[in-house]
Structure 1
């Protein structure tokens, strides 16, 4: 089954047959809830016969572990028949919520992954020709040029797609470091390698403190990335590997992850029977870049009283918002003469790249100030 990857969505999306007669475009996400099929609520409205009312287990909330808010959802214990190509898949439950709106996507209608305890298949993600193939595990052999990495068990995180291998990196100034950790394979995450902030983590601090890091917006937060040369599996040399650091606490996400722009350098095989992942290097690697992904300038939040307060400012030399004097703790009252409550988050983000000048009326320690920011329209966007 051939898949597509929309640059603005950066997910593997392919057609999945539901109850034989219905086709749904679903994202393949190895980092998501194991054993669950996820469908968009509007998809269910169009196909109301997919679920029996008696199979409804509970109503609750669903979303992304990367976000800070969740939306109402329904969980069903009896799932419809699911087929990828000619392979039948069995899931223990189905979750339905407003997937499209939550993820701001029109490219997918839900999510699926490898069913838990699927030991009869070997799943192949072929990034050379953009297709998924599900092989019979019986007598299947990985290609001879594969790097074969065993899956490892991590008690606090029961996802099976965790592997351990060393990654030796070299920065532009010659600094070197070896990351020798267990990594979660997360096909739903576009980053090459992601490190989540944990107190006292020396590897995280090594990358997070680097001056050459590029700051990029991430939902209501930000991340930074450093581009390095690397040696994988003790013998494969690659360049332009990006190490991302996420500077906000997140106790849900696994600490170390490898994502789509790492995986795209290989054809990847998930062998659940032997509990190994195979990485077959391919010749051509093309990074998936979201062209509208913006640089991070500053973040803000709202108090219970509805006040808009700056929660962080990007600490890098070319950040014009920092140069203009905006500081953490400033209360923003007006933006270009209009009350801040009149702006949606998207409208304000658009101003940061499209306006010539933004004028913020702020209160700092109770004192009114004006912060005038000259926008750099030549600033490189995209991630």
Structure 2
């Protein structure tokens, strides 16, 4: 996944909760891991869509506004509600028709469906988002190794291969204790498990102040980003630096880049947790969520990799509404910025291939090529060409 897209965070969504009925998931729900967990679903028996599974998303089912407008789904009843996320709070329209969501053999009913500008945050592959409402009554597996989710009605025979981590589950949030060491600074306490984040660890603005992260003498990289998450703050910046170690349960992850938000708002402001742990961490494990018994079981299957060459910009695929990928993040004084790239530019071709012609997998692997020649339509409407080389930054 392109390096700078790893930090996109959906955050916590606080809307009017739905009165619902639901059954168990079928044995296996396949998902595509592309920074987030995308899986197929059907709305009201006929509307096919890709949903993102977000453990930070409470018990909601929400839909993207562009997807809704372009689909055959024609709701008849609407209201408004307040939603809070990683970028503060915002008022959104909500569908108040009874809505059925089918995932495999599971059917769930929602009487409130918020409408988000979700693709502004994640790109055109995201049609909607669904929270953890249906995973809190039984053992729920997220298998990153083989790309599926599954509900278990009894403890798996191989549970001895997993490490048990105690959690606190309250208000649909999964909190657990972890430790991060950066030089002589040790950050220990509760973190939020958030599969709605594509990052490693994003520290809240409160944790940033408490642990004086800006004062740590270490190589840092500041990135400007648009639409960091759901909320009213359209532009944000975060700082990256390399941690020495991250300890989750009995497992230690070394030399991973973490982020902090000095001016974080919403889900990344002052909270009961120190930060958000996202899929760049969780994708190293197979997970069993046992909410009833207040624990998560983890089993590591992916080894740590050495830092590799990367580019210092990020984008979101918006070929659903235009001819390319919108530049959504830029490292300050980085190679891309110095070459003339700006937030809001549209990448229309990479190495001569139109952005619209890329498959999803090719898009995800576009950072693997050592040199990119980008044809761009600038925010001013003028065409420009940028040549970049991937390089190791840490």
* Cα-Cα RMSD: 4.1
Residue aligning to 1:364: none
Q: 1:229 to 1:79 in 2, by over 3 A?
A: farther
Q: 1:237 to 1:67 in 2, by over 3 A?
A: closer
Residue aligning to 2:196: 188
Query: Which contiguous aligned blocks of 4+ residues in structure 1 show a shift greater than 4 angstroms?
Result: 68-72, 138-142, 284-293, 318-322, 375-383
1:249 to 247, 260, 264: 264
C-alpha separation in 2, matches of 1:131 and 1:144: 21
**1:118 partnered with 2:136:** yes
**1:167 partnered with 2:179:** yes
SS in structure 1 opposite 2:345? helix
SS in structure 1 opposite 2:281? helix
Quick check: 2:54–2:130 contact (8 Å CA) kept in 1?
Answer: yes
**1:11 partnered with 2:36:** yes
Q: Which has the higher contact order (CA 8 A, sep 6+)?
A: 2
C-alpha separation in 1, matches of 2:102 and 2:214: 42
Residue aligning to 1:359: none
Deviation at 1:48, TM superposition (A): 3.2
Residue aligning to 1:346: 344
Q: How does 1:101-140 map to 2 (within 5 A)?
A: 102-103=120-121, 105-115=123-133, 118-119=136-137, 121-136=138-153, 138-139=154-155
Residue aligning to 1:225: 240
Residue aligning to 1:282: 301
Quick check: 2:218–2:241 contact (8 Å CA) kept in 1?
Answer: no
C-alpha separation in 2, matches of 1:207 and 1:186: 24
Deviation at 1:4, TM superposition (A): 1.6
Q: Which stretch shows the higher mean deviation, 143-152 or 259-268?
A: 143-152
Q: 1:144 to 1:88 in 2, by over 3 A?
A: farther
C-alpha separation in 1, matches of 2:199 and 2:215: 15
C-alpha separation in 2, matches of 1:61 and 1:289: 41
Deviation at 1:15, TM superposition (A): 0.3
Deviation at 1:147, TM superposition (A): 1.7
Q: 1:218 to 1:382 in 2, by over 3 A?
A: farther
Per-residue displacement from partner, 1:202-229 (whole Å, max 9, x unpaired)?
Answer: 43x2466333123233322221222234
C-alpha separation in 2, matches of 1:21 and 1:288: 44
Q: 1:152 to 1:208 in 2, by over 3 A?
A: farther
C-alpha separation in 2, matches of 1:99 and 1:289: 30
C-alpha separation in 1, matches of 2:301 and 2:215: 30
**1:213 partnered with 2:228:** no
Q: Which runs of 5+ in 1 are unaligned?
A: 296-312, 325-335, 337-342, 356-374
Deviation at 1:232, TM superposition (A): 2.2
**1:40 partnered with 2:64:** yes
Quick check: 1:267–1:281 contact (8 Å CA) kept in 2?
Answer: yes
Mark the structure with the bigger radius of gyration: 1
SS in structure 2 opposite 1:346? coil
C-alpha separation in 1, matches of 2:188 and 2:388: 40
Quick check: 1:191–1:242 contact (8 Å CA) kept in 2?
Answer: no
Q: 1:60 to 1:178 in 2, by over 3 A?
A: same
TM-score, reference length from structure 2: 0.63
C-alpha separation in 1, matches of 2:342 and 2:144: 38
SS in structure 2 opposite 1:273? helix
Per-residue displacement from partner, 1:14-51 (whole Å, max 9, x unpaired)?
Answer: 1013234432111111112x2211112344443335x4
Q: 1:105 to 1:381 in 2, by over 3 A?
A: farther
Q: 1:250 to 1:380 in 2, by over 3 A?
A: farther
Q: 1:286 to 1:30 in 2, by over 3 A?
A: farther
Q: 1:2 to 1:117 in 2, by over 3 A?
A: closer
C-alpha separation in 1, matches of 2:174 and 2:128: 20
Quick check: 1:152–1:162 contact (8 Å CA) kept in 2?
Answer: yes
Q: How many residues are matched?
A: 302
Quick check: 1:264–1:285 contact (8 Å CA) kept in 2?
Answer: no
